């Protein structure tokens, strides 16, 4: 499993509970990641070809790509690597967020486009796009940014900013207090989806703060599900098929 998300951890726990041998691969970008149940490996494979080689050498029977919705390079390598190795691939991707009638959202196609909107829309901006890609906002001299990350971000950063290190899940009341404390008049986020970090959107709605939402990048077209239960059923079905095939081969004397 290519993991790093809350859904990946939940899926790993469910599969281990069913006796499935799970190897979760984490990219290693977070200094102290929350480790899932089962076996864990940290670090890349060396691209699609390296992944294909690892899959063949270890005898992996199926792969679940449960990475973050914005980890598009990993998903591309997963599609290419599993195709080369002939290993079934499932994409587990949580549903994206949708604006309600009371929301004031602007969609951006990239971080660069989001930065352009910031220059026009906000003076005190809550930036929650993660520590990668902050360079897109570094050239904005007028707005002040409250930047929230799990780990300290690397420069370049906006000239006027404060960094808060924190990890979700968050509460609506906590997000409201944070945004009021810093006088936030614009929220910037990626369309990560799910409930883990959605409290900031509820807080922005209640405070009447507009939101800039960065759209998800395009991904390879592979079989995709949105829930842990669906992903678990897919893996268990493959595990059952593998077990039946092995039994049939033994009965046939193969």
Count CA atoms closer than 13 A to 24's CA, side-chain side: 26
Class of domain 105-214: alpha beta
Do residues 210 and 187 lie in contact, with contact meaning Cβ atoms separated by under 8 Å? yes
pLDDT tens, 155-167?
999 999 999 999 9
Which residues sit opposite 112 in a β-bridge? none
Strand partners, 144: 124
Residue 253: per-residue pLDDT: 35
193-211: b or e for each residue (b if 16 or more CB lie within 10 Å)? Answer: bbeebbbbbbbbbeeebbb
Distance of alpha carbon 99 from its chain centroid, rounded?
20
180, HSE (Cβ side, Cα atoms, 13 Å): 10
d(C-alpha 172, C-alpha 13), whole Å: 28
Q: Which residues neighbour 154 within 8 Å (Cβ) at sequence distance 6 or greater?
A: 131
Residues 3, 75: Cα–Cα separation, whole Å: 11
pTM over 0.85: yes
Positions of the chain with pLDDT lower than 70, given as ranges: 240-254
pLDDT value at residue 131? 92
3 state SS of 105: strand
**Given this chain, do its domains 6-95+219-251 and 105-214 carry the same CATH topology?**
yes
What is residue 240's predicted lDDT score, i.e. its pLDDT? Answer: 64
Fold assignment, 6-95+219-251: Rossmann fold (3.40.50)
Q: Who contacts 14 (Cβ-Cβ below 8 Å, separation ≥6)?
A: 228, 232
Domain boundaries, the chain: 6-95+219-251, 105-214
208-211 contacts, C-beta under 8 A, 24 or more apart: 208/104, 209/104, 209/179, 209/184, 209/185, 210/104, 210/105, 210/106, 210/121, 210/122, 210/185, 210/186, 211/103, 211/104, 211/105, 211/106, 211/186, 211/187
pLDDT in tens, 204-223: 999 999 999 999 999 899 99
In this prediction, residue 32 carries a pLDDT of 75
Nearest-angstrom CA–CA distance, 99 and 233: 31
């Amino acid at each position: 499993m290519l993991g790093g998300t809350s859904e990946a951890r939940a899926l790993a726990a469910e599969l281990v509970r069913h006796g499935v041998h799970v190897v979760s691969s984490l990219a290693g970008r977070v200094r102290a990641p929350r480790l899932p149940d089962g076996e864990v490996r940290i670090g890349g494979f060396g691209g699609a070809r390296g992944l294909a080689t690892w899959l063949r050498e270890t005898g992996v029977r199926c792969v679940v790509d449960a990475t973050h919705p914005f980890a598009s390079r990993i998903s591309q390598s997963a599609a290419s690597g599993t195709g080369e190795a002939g290993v079934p691939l499932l994409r587990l991707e949580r549903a994206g967020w949708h604006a309600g009638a009371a929301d004031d959202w602007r969609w951006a196609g990239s971080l660069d486009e989001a930065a352009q909107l910031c220059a026009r829309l906000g003076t005190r901006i809550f930036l929650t796009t993660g520590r990668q890609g902050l360079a897109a906002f570094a050239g904005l001299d007028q707005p002040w940014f409250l930047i929230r990350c799990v780990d300290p971000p690397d420069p370049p950063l906006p000239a006027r900013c404060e960094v808060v290190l924190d990890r979700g899940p968050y509460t609506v009341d906590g997000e409201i207090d944070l945004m009021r404390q810093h006088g936030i008049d614009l929220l910037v986020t990626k369309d990560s989806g799910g409930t883990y970090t959605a409290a900031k959107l509820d807080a922005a709605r209640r405070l009447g703060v507009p939101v800039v939402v960065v759209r998800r990048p395009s991904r390879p077209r592979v079989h995709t599900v949105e829930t842990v239960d669906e992903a678990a059923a897919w893996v268990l079905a493959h595990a059952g098929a593998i077990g039946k095939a092995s039994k049939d081969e033994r009965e046939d004397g193969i």
